[in-house]
């Protein structure tokens, strides 16, 4: 991606399964203009709307025929099919990350999870609108076959099924795994990325987009003011230590309620922090509420921090010593990028303080700027866990904005090139 194009308007996009807006934020920062987004969860959509439609990161020209509210892709098809058909040839990019719970290698993979079929809805939207470019993000398991009891009847990876359908619609499809840490994100988050380009836009000089992305990675980091080495966790959240800030009352009673970090912006900032705090001035970010840990929980966390190897899950003997069966507990390594964040806040402990991370610390590790507010409940539990998307879940599910921006710049260079060729 050339530096001269970094601020050029790239084209119009639709974000499907948008969540709280990590991918849209990145695309907007890369110069793309949003048309609309589809997200079914009201809490996630409230965060999206607050920041990307109404707020300082606004870049959507929302159509009058579509209500600005949480919605499902099925409902949009059912009620606005004529309006969607009228967009054919007028949208440059369809982006999105279909729900990944049924594919994730970190959970219980389920080939019959109904959420898996939502990637088929992505294909249906592509067929109706026929954009120039496609961008799909998902977990690594999206590209992994489902094992069955019958070894001769292994279900194909969802990526292969989707790729075949998109190719039949007239797209050249390119896939790869990308690590967010390579694009300035302080997290070793590896994701499967699919890029589609309409066949008629590919000429004899065409080059694989992932090769271009790798070649331009250094320029991307330099242009953003990010370090060329992978960003350490301490450079991302070290200024949010309780020991470096004051505590303030957040909610509930004074004795039993929640406290929050009363943030004091540091005088000296890491390169990463300068990017994350850009244009924030003395403004304090939201979502700094601290978990209300019981004394025995704090003692357990201190014990875990004393025996673990930072950055690695507890082994079986450590789990036995602590008296827990929870396999995924990891203490952050302050001097390395974080392991992949999940939607469960108690999977990851702070590197020096006996507590889980705040939502804002998770947002920092995902590369959300401090100017991006996260809204909704902080957590949820029980049978609501699969039905609601509170703040921790919103951030854990999100596409890191910096990775989204790098991909947006890549696709934007293709679009600018197509426009120039057409002159």
Burial of 389-408, coded b for 16+ CB within 10 Å and e otherwise, reads bbbbbbbbbbbbbbbbbbbb
Q: Which of 20, 100, 234, 389 is catalytic?
A: 100
Contacts for 71 with CB less than 8 Å, ≥ 6 apart: 38, 39, 40, 45
Catalytic site includes residue 308: no
Contact 137, 143 (CB under 8 A): no
Contacts for 159 with CB less than 8 Å, ≥ 6 apart: 138, 142, 143, 175, 192, 194
Question: Is residue 366 exposed (0-12), middle (13-18) or buried (19+ Cβ within 10 Å)?
Answer: buried
260: helix, strand or coil: strand
The partner residues of 338 in beta bridges, in order of sequence, read 187
Contact 93, 131 (CB under 8 A): yes
- Could you say which DSSP state residue 187 is in? B
The partner residues of 134 in beta bridges, in order of sequence, read 94, 196
Residue ranges with strand state E in 313-400: 330-331, 348-349
The order of strands in the sheet holding 171-179 is: 33-38, 12-16, 93-96, 133-138, 190-198, 171-179
Contact 95, 87 (CB under 8 A): no
Q: Which residues are catalytic?
A: 100
């Amino acid at each position: 991606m050339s530096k001269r194009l970094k601020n050029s308007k790239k084209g119009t996009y639709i974000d499907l399964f948008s969540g709280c807006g990590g991918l849209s934020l990145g695309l907007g920062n890369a110069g793309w203009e949003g048309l609309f987004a589809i997200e079914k969860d009201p809490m996630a959509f409230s965060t999206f709307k607050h920041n990307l439609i109404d707020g300082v990161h606004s870049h959507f020209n929302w159509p009058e025929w579509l209500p600005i509210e949480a919605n499902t892709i099925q409902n949009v098809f059912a009620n606005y099919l004529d309006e969607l058909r009228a967009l054919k040839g007028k949208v440059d990019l369809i982006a999105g990350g279909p729900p990944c719970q049924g594919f994730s290698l970190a959970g219980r993979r389920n080939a019959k999870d109904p959420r898996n079929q939502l990637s088929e809805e992505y294909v249906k939207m592509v067929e109706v609108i026929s954009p120039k470019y496609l961008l799909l993000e998902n977990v690594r398991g999206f590209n992994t076959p489902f094992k069955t009891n019958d070894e001769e009847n292994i279900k194909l990876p969802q990526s292969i099924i989707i790729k075949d359908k998109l190719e039949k619609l007239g797209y050249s499809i390119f896939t790869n795994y990308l690590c967010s840490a390579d694009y300035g994100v302080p997290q070793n988050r590896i994701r499967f990325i699919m890029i589609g380009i309409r066949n008629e836009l590919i000429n004899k000089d065409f080059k694989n987009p992932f090769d271009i992305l790798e070649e331009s990675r250094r320029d991307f980091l330099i242009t953003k003011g990010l370090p060329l080495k992978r960003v350490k966790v301490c450079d991302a959240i070290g200024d949010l230590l309780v020991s470096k800030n004051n505590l303030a009352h957040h909610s509930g009673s004074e004795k039993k309620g929640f406290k929050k970090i009363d943030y004091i912006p540091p005088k000296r900032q890491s390169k990463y922090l300068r990017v994350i705090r850009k244009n924030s001035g003395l403004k304090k970010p939201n979502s700094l509420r601290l978990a209300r840990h019981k004394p025995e929980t704090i003692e357990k966390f201190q014990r875990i921090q004393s025996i673990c190897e930072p950055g690695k899950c507890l082994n079986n003997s450590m789990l036995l010593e602590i008296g827990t069966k929870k396999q995924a507990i990891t203490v952050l390594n302050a001097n390395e990028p974080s392991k992949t964040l999940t939607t469960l806040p108690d999977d990851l402990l702070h590197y020096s303080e006996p507590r889980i991370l705040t939502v804002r610390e998770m947002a920092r590790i995902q590369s959300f700027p401090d100017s991006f507010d996260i809204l909704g409940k902080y957590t949820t539990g029980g049978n609501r866990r699969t039905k609601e998307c509170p703040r921790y879940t919103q951030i854990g599910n999100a596409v890191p904005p910096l990775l989204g921006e790098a991909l947006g710049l890549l696709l934007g260079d293709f679009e600018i090139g197509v426009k120039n060729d057409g002159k």
